Chains A and B, each alone.
With several copies, the nearest count.
Chain A
Amino acid sequence: MSALPDKPAALEVKDVRRSFGPVEVLHGVDLALHSGEVHALIGENGAGKSTIMKIMAGYLTPTSGEVLLNGKPVTFASSEEAENKGVILIHQEFNLAEQLTVEENIFLGRELKRGFFLDKKAMRAEAARLLNELETRVSPDARVSDISVSDKQMVEIAKALSRNARVLIMDEPTAVLTTREAEVLFRQIERLKAKGTAILYTSHKLDEVARIADRITVFRDGSRVVVANTGEMTEDQMAQAMVGRELSNLFPPKVIPANAETVLSVKDFSVGSIVTNASFDLKRGEILGFAGLVGAGRTELMEGLIGVRQSAGQVEINGNPVSISTVSDARRAGVVYLTEDRKGRGLLLRKSMRENLTLLALNRFGRLAIDSKGEDKALGKAISEFDIRAPNRAVLVGNLSGGNQQKLLLAKTMLAEPEIVIIDEPTRGIDIGTKQQIYNFIQNLAASGKSIIMISSEMAEVIGLSHRVVVMRSGRVTGVLSGDEINEDLIVRHAMGLEGKVAA
């Protein structure tokens, strides 16, 4: 494997630089992809991973340097040209037209035709086949705006698979997938690899990288720092190469509050037809994990709680019944929610960081006129506190790297100074160094007397951070675990409904 064939690389970049305006984000990087290998690209948020991938797939042009396809220099005039030559990119951000159906999205720009007309039957069948292969149950006729985040990612993958790639570039494909879905993806990757496809892949989940990659390239601040075969690096070494310092103990020690009073009590809470009679308590200073398979309804439950979905049931905060029907009711009651859908519900991509940061807590910056100095100060604080890396303060949020968007979203949510924070997938797309910072942040938050609900599909996160764990399945709470019960086996058993029967 490490003995590379003499054959030229399937796709290679040499000494590529790229600037946005005056800021250079890639400082002369080299990267070679070979047929039949899975190559992992890792690095901190904002290191330039997505940028180099876009350059390789023709979405961006390098400021200088060259791209070689099968050893011959090429300049892709457009992503279409790259695609025609078999180079396909799955974007980090969703690249789906929301109003179109799944099938329409999969075949967009590549519609199958019979004569002049669309061959809908064939496309539907093919879409169904691809989705089936990915073990995704979403219907080809569903509108993309109606499907869940992870299903969208699977549709993206299906779209790429339908394109018959010789070089497949995937930008954090597993960030929004659960372990089970990720497994499905890995099987597909193995299959493609066997067929001789060259695969470039990024992820912040280093265990994944260790498992499926053949070679690893590490980026730091727009430069390549390491290339190695997988066996040559441990996960710790990877993390260290990325971050430039040693990372010990990803999770801070749990400080479980003793005899804390209940701050939030939810009883018989139902949201539409998705969540039925959910009940749970949250104590002061507690980190309450929510686990479950995708589609278990955790997101809907929380969205019901903060008033963006119609709900029924009793909610008490500090022992007083409250009725929350809008997000600002929730905020007033001290409850805020960090959405899992960063792009669709979290951030205004075409606005600056400042406007995004203060939107939720704008009432704190003056009722009549906005205190823009205060805003700037808050932004400065958020940038340092959450380690947000942006080329400059005026950059549009849509141009931030994915991980930095997530950090900004976190900062935005915290700016409202909530008593109760609901965080849906807190570390989606966040690099390992920052993850540690965020975990510490959450732990400190809890220690300072705030209460936290954390929905996460990353088992390690749930286990490593939560004081107690609520497990949901099909819109119902199937178990509440604490202490030693918090282990992968029990959580999965509850999530799959195996334990629920016993408990009931």
Chain B
Amino acid sequence: MTVDSATSTAPRQGFRIDFHIWGPVVALLALIALGAFLNSNFLSYGNVTNVLARSAFIGIIAVGMTFVITSGGLDLSVGSMAAFIAGVMIMIMNGLVPSMGVGWGVILVGMLVAIVVGFAAGLVNGLLITQARIEAFIVTLGTMGIFRSLITWLANGGTLSLDYGVREVYRPVYYDGLLGVAWPIIVFAAVAILGEIIMRKTPFGRHCAAIGSNEQVALYSAVHVNRVRLMTYILLGILVGIATIMYVPRLGSASSSTGVLWELEAIAAVIIGGTVLKGGFGRVWGTVVGVLILSLIGNILNLANLVSPYLNGAIQGVIIILAVVLQRQKKMER
């Protein structure tokens, strides 16, 4: 697969639309058109806000995942990690209420905890992968089980709920916004823009792509392969923490079913966006488009009336495949 696409990106080939680049965008536009056609409320402020805000969690995580995948890695643990972080955050905030009282103080501590725990979780993944040199798939499959178990255990099998008072103070972080734009959307946009800049404009982004392309070449070119790789996992961990900060005020709870399959969704978004699964090439804006495509599919399925809701998954599957058909790899030039 890597071979074919190599010959295909010869630029300035004429005025045809380069589907390899614009495929995801075309797919997204098609979905939007479909949604608008199926339901007149689709483009309403309310629905657009809903879709964008709920994309934020996966979106923030997927931006981090883009870096991990670009540098040739993978992280299956993010969904469980989010659940675990949410659990720890809620427990600590609840624990602090008696001493600190209800207010932003507690919430800020909670946010800090989320980021620190995310950092630590990413560090653990990253160290196991770079220092113990275990295949990323296995490490993160393992930590996925571990985080999931820990949250189940912390919640005693049930649900951890945030203290009611704190919740009321914290709620606006999900539901309110600035100038009519909800906070999760703002944060997602900020993360995405920053991610895009880091990927394209900084040595770090360049190094990620170099490592994913050819680790040896990177090594011989004075790239700190292990350090950069470790940093991608830490970055992802921190972003999972940020995603969790936006998630907790939404329902104010965490349980063993929080974040299930987020990892798959995040990875799918990254790849739909055009990042190469085997590493070497990544684009954050593509990931954002991928996330929106996935969210829209769910939204459209809910807005439209299908023969049977049992078939939602099938339609979802078909659309995912179709979305990528557009940017499929060209046949090798001969």
A and B touch in the complex (CB under 8 A): yes
Which A residues have a C-beta under 8 Å from some C-beta of B?
20-22, 59-61, 78-80, 83, 91, 95-100, 104, 108-111, 113, 116-118, 120, 139, 141-143, 145-146, 271-272, 303-304, 308-311, 326-328, 330-331, 337, 339, 344-351, 355, 359-360, 362-363, 365-370, 372, 392, 394-396, 398-399, 412, 416
Residues of A within 8 A of B217 (CB): 95-97, 108, 344-348, 359
Is B36 an interface residue when CB atoms closer than 8 A count as contact? no
Indicate whether A368 sits within 8 Å of B202 (C-beta atoms), given known contacts A146-B10, A348-B213: yes
Residue of B nearest to A331 (CB): B222
Residues of chain B from 155 to 207 with CB closer than 8 A to chain A in the complex: 197, 201-203, 206-207
Residues of B within 8 A of A22 (CB): 12-14
Nearest-neighbour CB distance to chain A for B277, whole angstroms, equals 13
Residues of B within 8 A of A396 (CB): 6-7, 9-10
Contact bitstring B196-226, A, C-beta under 8 A = 1, else 0: 0100011100110110111011111111100
- Let me know if B203 and A349 touch, CB within 8 A: no
Nearest-neighbour CB distance to chain B for A444, whole angstroms, equals 25
Residues of A within 8 A of B281 (CB): 99, 350
Residues of B within 8 A of A355 (CB): 206, 209-210
Residues of A within 8 A of B197 (CB): 117, 369
Residues of A within 8 A of B10 (CB): 20-21, 143, 146, 394-396, 399
Is B2 an interface residue when CB atoms closer than 8 A count as contact? yes
Contact residue among B2, B6, B13, B220 (Cβ-Cβ distance under 8 Å from A339): B220
- Let me know if B206 and A142 touch, CB within 8 A: no
Nearest-neighbour CB distance to chain B for A178, whole angstroms, equals 23
Knowing that A111-B203, A327-B219 are A-B contacts, what are 7 other residue pairs whose CB atoms are under 8 Å apart, sorted by A's residue number? A98-B213, A109-B207, A118-B206, A308-B334, A351-B209, A360-B221, A369-B197
Residue of A nearest to B10 (CB): A21
- Let me know if A370 and B203 touch, CB within 8 A: yes
Residue of A nearest to B276 (CB): A99
Residues of B within 8 A of A392 (CB): 11-12
**Docked CA distance A114–B77 (Å):** 36
Report which residue of A109, A142, A328, A367 has the largest number of chain B beta carbons within 10 angstroms of its beta carbon: A109
Contact residue among B7, B219, B280 (Cβ-Cβ distance under 8 Å from A399): B7
- Let me know if A350 and B6 touch, CB within 8 A: yes
Residues of A within 8 A of B222 (CB): 78-80, 83, 109-110, 326-328, 330-331, 360, 416
Indicate whether A108 sits within 8 Å of B223 (C-beta atoms), given known contacts A100-B209, A117-B202, A370-B206: yes
Top 9 A-B residue pairs of the complex, sorted by shortest distance between their CB atoms = A309-B334, A109-B222, A145-B6, A97-B213, A109-B221, A310-B334, A80-B222, A99-B280, A328-B222
Residues of B within 8 A of A398 (CB): 6
Residues of chain B from 94 to 135 with CB closer than 8 A to chain A in the complex: none
Could you jot down 8 A-B contacts, CB within 8 Å? A99-B276, A108-B223, A110-B221, A110-B222, A111-B206, A351-B210, A363-B203, A399-B6
**Docked CA distance A113–B203 (Å):** 8
Nearest-neighbour CB distance to chain A for B230, whole angstroms, equals 14
Nearest-neighbour CB distance to chain A for B151, whole angstroms, equals 36
Report which residue of B11, B203, B213, B222 has the largest number of chain A beta carbons within 10 angstroms of its beta carbon: B222
- Prevailing SS type, chain A contact patch: loop
- Let me know if B201 and A118 touch, CB within 8 A: yes
- Let me know if B220 and A308 touch, CB within 8 A: yes
Residues of chain B from 211 to 269 with CB closer than 8 A to chain A in the complex: 212-214, 216-224
Residues of A within 8 A of B6 (CB): 98-99, 143, 145-146, 349-350, 396, 398-399
- Let me know if A97 and B210 touch, CB within 8 A: yes
**Docked CA distance A118–B199 (Å):** 11
Nearest-neighbour CB distance to chain A for B46, whole angstroms, equals 38
- Let me know if A350 and B280 touch, CB within 8 A: yes
**Docked CA distance A369–B280 (Å):** 20
**Docked CA distance A366–B222 (Å):** 16
Indicate whether A350 sits within 8 Å of B221 (C-beta atoms), given known contacts A22-B13, A99-B209, A370-B203: no
- Let me know if B210 and A303 touch, CB within 8 A: no
Nearest-neighbour CB distance to chain B for A360, whole angstroms, equals 4
Residues of A within 8 A of B223 (CB): 108-109, 327-328, 359
**Docked CA distance A398–B202 (Å):** 24
Nearest-neighbour CB distance to chain B for A184, whole angstroms, equals 23
- Let me know if B224 and A97 touch, CB within 8 A: no
- Let me know if A346 and B209 touch, CB within 8 A: no
- Let me know if B201 and A272 touch, CB within 8 A: no
- Let me know if A141 and B11 touch, CB within 8 A: yes
Nearest-neighbour CB distance to chain B for A121, whole angstroms, equals 12
Residues of B within 8 A of A337 (CB): 220
Contact residue among A346, A350, A370 (Cβ-Cβ distance under 8 Å from B201): A370
- Let me know if A362 and B203 touch, CB within 8 A: yes
- Let me know if B203 and A367 touch, CB within 8 A: yes
Contact residue among A59, A116, A304, A399 (Cβ-Cβ distance under 8 Å from B220): A59
- Let me know if B220 and A351 touch, CB within 8 A: no
Residues of B within 8 A of A331 (CB): 222
- Let me know if B221 and A359 touch, CB within 8 A: yes
- Let me know if A97 and B203 touch, CB within 8 A: no
**Docked CA distance A106–B3 (Å):** 21
Residues of chain B from 11 to 70 with CB closer than 8 A to chain A in the complex: 11-14
Residues of B within 8 A of A365 (CB): 203
Nearest-neighbour CB distance to chain B for A109, whole angstroms, equals 4
**Docked CA distance A364–B332 (Å):** 28
Indicate whether A328 sits within 8 Å of B224 (C-beta atoms), given known contacts A141-B11, A146-B6, A362-B203: yes
**Docked CA distance A308–B212 (Å):** 18
Report which residue of B213, B217, B276, B334 has the largest number of chain A beta carbons within 10 angstroms of its beta carbon: B217
Residue of A nearest to B226 (CB): A326
Residue of A nearest to B11 (CB): A394
- Let me know if B201 and A311 touch, CB within 8 A: no
Report which residue of B6, B14, B206 has the largest number of chain A beta carbons within 10 angstroms of its beta carbon: B206
**Docked CA distance A328–B214 (Å):** 17
Report which residue of B5, B7, B13 has the largest number of chain A beta carbons within 10 angstroms of its beta carbon: B7
Contact residue among B5, B7, B276, B280 (Cβ-Cβ distance under 8 Å from A97): B280
